[in-house]
Each structure stands twice: as C-alpha cells, then as structure tokens.
Structure 1
C-alpha cells in the first residue's frame, strides 16, 4: 500500500493512549496523516506523541471527555483552527461494565457504557460532518465489536447493546451520506489483546492473549479502509482470531460478577 496515500490529511483517533487507538495512530501517522490523539489522560497522550514523533509522525495530543457535547465541540473547533477540517475520524474509544449480567447491572453503569461507546460516536460524527459535507469527502471509521453480532456474558449486556447500536449508526451514515462523498466503515473485531482484558472477570493468561487479534491487526484494517481511493468504501469488516477458544469457564464466572451477596447462594 502506498505510504503517502494519506499525506497531509487530518485524522482524529479516540482512545489513542493505548491498544487499538495507539496502533491506529501510529499506522496513520506513518502513512503521512496529521494525527490528533484523543484521550482522557494528557500524560499518556504526551508519551504516545513523543514516541510517534521520534518515528517521524506529525501528531497532536488533545484531552477530551468524548461523551460530553461541549468538550467535543471545543475539541473539533480547536483541531480545525490548528490543522484544518478532519478528513478521517476513527471512533475507537470504548468502555465495558464491571457487572456483566443484565439481571444486576445498575442504571448508572449501563448508561456510562452507552455514553462512551455510542453517544460519543454520535457526538464526534455530528461535529465533523458539516466540514466533510462541505468538502464532499470524509471517512468515518468506527470500531464496534463482534459482541454486536454475538452478545454474551464475556462482554456483558451493556457493551453488546452499545456496540450493536453503533453498528446500526454507521450503517445509517453509509446509507444517508454515501452520495455526498462520505465513507462510513464499521469494524467488528473479536477478542483483541488490549488493556481492557485486565478488567475481565477472569483476565486471560498470556498464552491466550497471544492467540487473540492484536491491536496492530485492527490498525492495519483501519489504515486499509482509510487509504482506499475515495470511490471505494468498506462498509463493514469483521476480524476474529483464527483459533476458537473455550470460553465456557469465563462465561460462568462472568455470570456472577457483581451479583448481590444474597444471590450468590444460587451459584451453588
């Protein structure tokens, strides 16, 4: 693939401090894009920025709570003032609940997962759409999950619902704005070896993580989708580990994660 395909384009990547976001930012910067790194912790973003600059990348870190409209509006205004309109939006940031069983998850925890995984994608997309429509070009790539298609206790009720919602929203964008030159792509990875695995009810062992999809694998797909000629769009892309692992034990542990003490007797 031509490494200069994206030269000069402005790409904004959320969740850029680690995992898929960091790998995607590195891939886009290596392809010549000017990359905006978005996350919640400036010290983490500055570390990523320093590493990518050493590799010759043009990157700009920005702190933003992407589920808050006022902060998203300010972020996009700042980026447009400094770099110009956003050409490529990569909605990657995600959050999962600690309680995975719909029987016990609290409303506040459910809403927090929807805000980060679904509402934030809407807010960011809405913020960059006017500029893309004005230019008649733009790419929106959103990282969903195979949990959108095969929801279970591993990701949890809230996460699967949010990822299904964002998949639907990307299909809406594609059907509504494709003739305006806007490309909307939804990427659905299976298990990816990212820091979110540390929060699982039973964190996978290293050997299991090594067999998962790796962040750089998803980043390669994101780069491909962004680098295709404007005449072509990948509507949806599924990425899964080649080998299927036994998750039955993980599911049983996840079922009881966060259960009230008076319900744990049911487990026996």
Structure 2
C-alpha cells in the first residue's frame, strides 16, 4: 500500500477501533503484537475524559494487551496539560463538571478544584462528560462563567453512542452553558488539533511520519486533517465510507478494521 512504508508512529483512537464497549474487536492482540514487533511507537488518544489512563491500561490488560501509562492520552489529560501551560496551577481554582478522568489529571497538575456548591470565585470552568450532571452543577458553572471564569471543554462530542442509542455527550453540556452565558468554550479534544499536537510531542516522531487511526470522520479524521497528518478511517465504528460524500475532507486511507490495518503494516 503506497505510503505505508514510511510510518514512524501511530496515534490511535480506542472506542470503535479497538473495542465496542467491553468487547475487544477481532485482531486486537495481533495488532498490538505487530506494533511491538515493528517497534512502532504509539499513543492511544481518546476524546473520552470520563475514565483515567490507569483504567484504560487495566481495560486493555483484561483484553490480553499490555501497554504503559505513557502510551495513553485522554482528553482529560490533554486538558490538564493545556491549562497547566497557560495558568499557574497552584494559584488557579477550577470548577469542574466531570468525573475522575478529568478531575484527577487537573489535581495531578496541581490545580485547586472547587467543591460542587462552592460559590467563591474561580478562574476556570472545565466541563467533561458527567453522568451525574445536575441542574445545580449547570447553574454554578454558568454563574462562574458569567463572573469571568475561563470556559473550557475536554471535548465537544455532542452525542455519546450507547446500546440505548445516541445519548447527550459533553458537547450538549457545553452548548447549554454557551447558550446560558453567551461564551463559547475552548475545546481540547478532537477535532481540535491540540490533543494530536500533544500526542506528536509524546511520540517524538516527525509529523509527516505519523498516522492517525480512527472511526469517526468528524473527530478523528478532521482532527488529523487540521493537524496536518495522514489518517486511516476504519469502518468498525461510527462512520461509513458513504459519509465522506458530503464532506470536503477525508482520510488518506479507508480500511475495514484493525485486522486489515495489521496486514498493511506488515507488508
């Protein structure tokens, strides 16, 4: 396959690429065995900010794949990195809508997290997927933003695929807060290039030798295009090949799944 012999590293999405829910997709262990055999560095980069890197490592271990913490980059981690480069964590109070996958990286960077009902001034409001979202949390976040706090989102995914159908994602929360405050948030996850740029730094591989792997055109592939790196759309998740017809961008390659990708890497 043309262009597949100059790969120096991979940025890989997880849900829809490596698994569906808790079910590993066919070829998972062979895919990672091939990456190790070829000594191809990779970063598993996901918009999901609801769980921690440690939980992803444990999830893959349950699927018979061993990876290191340093090979995972969630949008929660990316948000903490981004903010720590622009604010002094020990002097910055943050009101967080979200779970441990967003809160823990911020704590690890030294930010001060405000409690749910704390009305004392904060410098930042950061929102990620929160499955215990309440009216009061929205009210507190909106009041802080209206008072001048910076407004950030770990990711802008409006919907969250589930066995029940498409549920409201963090993008829906951000939309509600934007409507209530008139302030547009800065989002860190895909398709914004921020998380990809951080993954490139972790890889220490030139961008023209890195390929992004994903199952969503509107996040994984658009993010790669906006970062200036090549990409593979795998058809094992959300997007279909026919979805590309209405877009003015697209992946470099389209493959059925990680099994086909593994074969291409081995050629």
Q: TM-score, normalised by structure 1?
A: 0.36
Point out the structure with the larger strand share.
2
More RCO (CA 8 Å, sep 6+): 2
Give the TM-score taking structure 2 as reference length: 0.36
